[in-house]
Every structure is written in structure tokens, then in C-alpha cells.
Amino acid sequence: MFKRYSFTIGFICWIVIITVLSLSSFEDFDTQGINIPHLDKLVHFFFYFVAAILGVLLIREQTKGHLNLYRSIIISTLFVIVYGIVIEVIQSTFIQYRSGESFDVLANSIGAFFGAGLIIILFSGKTPLKWKD
């Protein structure tokens, strides 16, 4: 049974992870002198890159491949970008120890677009993403 819904479960778990990490405080987290410039933007990129990919796979799984791949990509990408904006607004409005940043939204959006691009590259043309009924 879980195999039939593996992408759905994966997407939901990934969104929960993003939400928890985005709304948690890391003030007490000791990096022991590690200082990588813009590491947080790379993390944002990666989280939303994976979310966009999982979102497309979830849509294809839930529709059993009946929804066009490109529509699935558009829906997933838009959802992930809007979700990222909502998280940043929540951070800047309701969470005292976090601040929403426009560059985080940009990193999220670029990650989502790259995830969509990877899906297009992998499953367009000779190797389409097919689904078993």
C-alpha cells in the first residue's frame, strides 16, 4: 500500500521538514566556527528543488499519469513558490526569533524552477514519465 503512495508520503514528509526547520530557532546551534557564505541560501535552494520534484511526482502519482507532465510541473512549481512565500511571511510576521527575507524567497523560487527543469530534462522526449494504472 505504501508503495502506491510513496511520492505522496515523500512530498508530505518533505514539506513537514521544511516547515519545522523554517519555524524553528537555531540560536543555540553551535557551528564551531564553520562559516560558509550564503549557506542558508543554498539550503533554501536545495529544499525547494527537492520539493518541486516531489510535487510533480505526487501529482503524477495521484492522477495516475492522466494529467499532462507540463501541467503537473506548473502546478507543483507554483505551489512550492507560493508555499515558500507563505513561510517567509509567517517568519517575518509571527515568529520573533526568525525573519523572512526576500532573498530566501528568491532562493526558494530558483530551486523550484531548477527542480522543474530537471524533471523536464529527465522525462521529456525519449524517456517520458509513465505511470502504471
pLDDT at 128 over 90: no
State the residue range of the domain holding 117: 2-19+40-123
Contact between 76 and 49 under an 8 Å Cβ cutoff? The reply is no
Domain presence at residue 29: no
Q: Give the SS3 label for residue 4.
A: helix
pLDDT at 54 over 80: yes
Domain presence at residue 67: yes
Domain presence at residue 91: yes
CA–CA distance, 71 with 78 (Å, rounded to integer): 11
Contact between 17 and 77 under an 8 Å Cβ cutoff? The reply is no
Alpha helices in the chain, H assignment, sequence order? 6-23, 39-62, 69-94, 102-123
Domain presence at residue 44: yes
Domain presence at residue 66: yes
User: 103 is written with which cell numbers?
Assistant: 532573498
Least confident of 13-22, 44-53, 86-95: 86-95
* Residues of the chain above pLDDT 70, percent: 84
The tens digit of pLDDT for each residue in 96-107 reads 777 778 999 999
Structurally, the chain folds into a number of domains equal to 1
pLDDT at 9 over 90: yes
- Give the per-residue pLDDT at 45: 97
Domain presence at residue 26: no
